[in-house]
Structure 1
Amino acid sequence: MDDLIKVVRVLSDWANLPAPDFREWSQLVERARIPKPSQQTPQERSPDRDWPMMPAMVSIRGPLASAFEAEDVEIDAICVTGHALALGIAGPVQDIHAGRLRPRQIKLRILTANIDVSLPLPTHRQEEDAERVRQLRLRDRNIYVNTLHGALASLRDTHGIEVRMEFRGIPFTPLTELILLNGVEALFSYCKISARSVTDAKGDSVEVYDTVTSQGMMKRFNAASGYYADREFVTESYRWFNSIWETISTEGFSS
């Protein structure tokens, strides 16, 4: 209480107001501790009234389409291969070609696993399949990275939109996927690990343990929603992404 009254006196002096004495401040604190009457019994109260519900899983296409309505589009993503992001961006790219959208510039930064280092996932279930598994992941990553690169580069060539793309590798396999939009939104999902069969270029099957994504369904957090939890999640997500980008990531494709 002594520490509190010191703070109150400083603030009161700053505001040119008389500071309450110790007794008055103590009474204010005690009144604040008295629970307010409620028409609901504790059993009738729902925790959802006091805390925002966890965002439901949404398709990334809607948030991405909204993000491209801005004049300056900025997308940062950490993903397993870029599959979901490539599919999600296809819609806005088509809208730009059709004249329904016209951003001034697009900036894209992507972090994905560096295939040149030993990764824990995907991993072979048979030792002799090790190199085949590495080649399969390299193929998948290049397909979606090149899809993103080609789709956005076409906007620069045909519409004169300023496009900046950077792709960097990280020395681990992401177990979460995160897409950050225009500084205000975060799309997030966990990746599950499961056994599955993949097919190589020759049509032969390879058994692997791999990360399985949510197929374009992610939880949506918006810093402008009014919820403190959403705002903090978006802020911390940017800090996390930038900490990886600026330290352990290595340069990949850029244009």
Structure 2
Amino acid sequence: MSTWSGSDEGGRKSQELKSALLADITEGEYDEGTLLPSQRELAAKYQVSRDTVQRVLGVLADEGWIESRQGRGSVVLRTQTVRSSVRGNAAARRVTLGPLIASAFAAPDVTLDVFTLTSEVLYTHVRVQEERIRARQIRPATIRIRIMTPSDDQLLPFPYALGDPDDDRPQKHLQGIRKYHTDNLVRRLKELDRDTDGLSATVEIRRAPLVPYSKLYIFNGAEVVTGPYVPTERPITLDDGTTLDVVDVMGFDSTLTHCAKDDDPESQDSLIVSSWQRWFDSTWRLLAT
């Protein structure tokens, strides 16, 4: 995970480009083993400099999404796949997060309850749905998003610098990523609410004194996607350009699982969804602030 600060080109545009590429990768536009467009094409498409493209591709490579090969371009190494127990999916029952969120936003009344470390992946997908709403491809009447993240003053067991666990820069780096994405989610939903007739869109963010060992998405009170954060050793690049080797967690290293309520309230999937909804509601009400 990485974020930037400083100039508009080096900061906001870098993060927006990263979010756009992550959305394309996690929604399946670029499958594993396929090449991304060239740096020149990406710079022209997103109206950023080649330096910005190179910086973002470097971060995506550090995070394990792509591999940049000299003279051959950048190859997608993985996407965010979800194993679904819902009947009617593909035979292998492998889906991606993007279509599940798109399906949730196609409902007239949209609710998303999310427990996450940074909300970075959520932000990439909400951006896509915002664009669909502005293009009048979908027309929900209400959108309500509730996000729980760790408290900023909470010392997490990750990330930490290898060789110097007392170095607080990795934790501050994580907080910067979280702040960027949560702030921009709030901004985008407020602007969407303001600009779209017939739509009421709200997002509320609370901090919980909990360590998120897994991410949790609840869509419209009827579907759950969850999966553990997997500890790994990897480099991160700080805002000042310093590279640190850290122990961090990566959500895409795990297989997410998906289940949905059905007509039987006592079925396994229905009970799982109801149980997670009760957990989220109680934690939101009693522990989060």
CA contact (8 A) 1:57 1:218 kept: no
Rounded Cα–Cα distance in structure 1 between residues aligned with 2:150 and 2:117: 7
Output aligned runs, 1:161-176, within 5 Å. 161-176=199-214
Please name the residue that 1:138 is paired with.
Answer: 175
CA contact (8 A) 1:84 1:216 kept: no
Question: Which residue of structure 1 lines up, in the alignment, with residue 130 of structure 2?
Answer: 93
**What are the Cα deviations for residues 25-52 of structure 1, in whole angstroms up to 9, with x where unaligned?**
xxxxxxxxxxxxxxxxxxxxxxxxxxxx
- 1:237 aligns to 2:276 (yes or no): yes
Corresponding residue for residue 207 of structure 1: 245
Higher relative contact order (CA 8 A, sep 6+): 1
Larger Rg: 1
Aligned partner letter, 1:213: G
> Tell me, which stretches of 5 or more residues in structure 2 are unaligned?
1-83, 87-92
Q: What's the counterpart of residue 112 of structure 1?
A: 149
Q: Which residue of 2 aligns with 1:12?
A: none
* Partner in structure 2 of residue 39 of structure 1: none
Aligned to 1:29: none
- Equivalent residue for 1:155? 192
Range with bigger deviation, 168-177 or 178-187: 168-177
Determine the structure 1 residue equivalent to 2:104. 67
Aligned-residue Cα RMSD (Å) equals 2.2
The CA deviation at 1:183 is 1.0
Q: 2:274 is matched by which residue type in structure 1?
A: T
Instruction: Give secondary structure in 1 for the equivalent of 2:95.
Output: strand
Paired with 1:172 and 1:111, the residues of 2 have a C-alpha distance of: 10
Q: Please state how far the C-alpha of 1:215 moved relative to its aligned partner.
A: 7.3
Matched residues in 2 for 1:117 and 1:216: separation? 24
Distance between the aligned counterparts of 1:235 and 1:89, measured in 2? 24
Q: How many residues align?
A: 198
- CA drift of 1:243 comes to 2.2
Q: Distance in 2 between matches of 1:111 and 1:152?
A: 17
Distance 1:109 1:118, change over 3 A: same
Offset of residue 127 of structure 1: 3.0
Matches within 5 A, 1:9-88: 54=85, 56-88=93-125
State the AA in 1 paired with 2:218: L
Range that drifts further, 117-126 or 78-87: 117-126
* One-letter amino acid of the structure 1 residue matched with residue 215 of structure 2: E
Provide the C-alpha distance between the structure 1 equivalents of 2:165 and 2:223, rounded to a whole number of angstroms: 43
* Aligned match of 2:81: none
1:85 Cα shift? 0.9
Structure 1 contact 119–171 (Cα < 8 Å) conserved: no
Deviations 1:172-224 (A, max 9, x none): 33111110011111111111111111110111012221221027963211102
**1:214 maps to amino acid:** F
Residue 198 (structure 1) aligns with = 236
| Distance change in 2, residues 1:105/1:217 (3 Å) | farther
Cα distance between partner residues in 2 of 1:176 and 1:65: 22
Note the C-alpha offset of 1:225.
6.8
Kept after mapping to 2: 8 A contact 1:111/1:167 = yes
Which residue of 2 is the match for residue 27 of structure 1? none
Gaps of 5+ in 1: 1-52, 251-255
DSSP-derived class of the 2:167 partner? helix
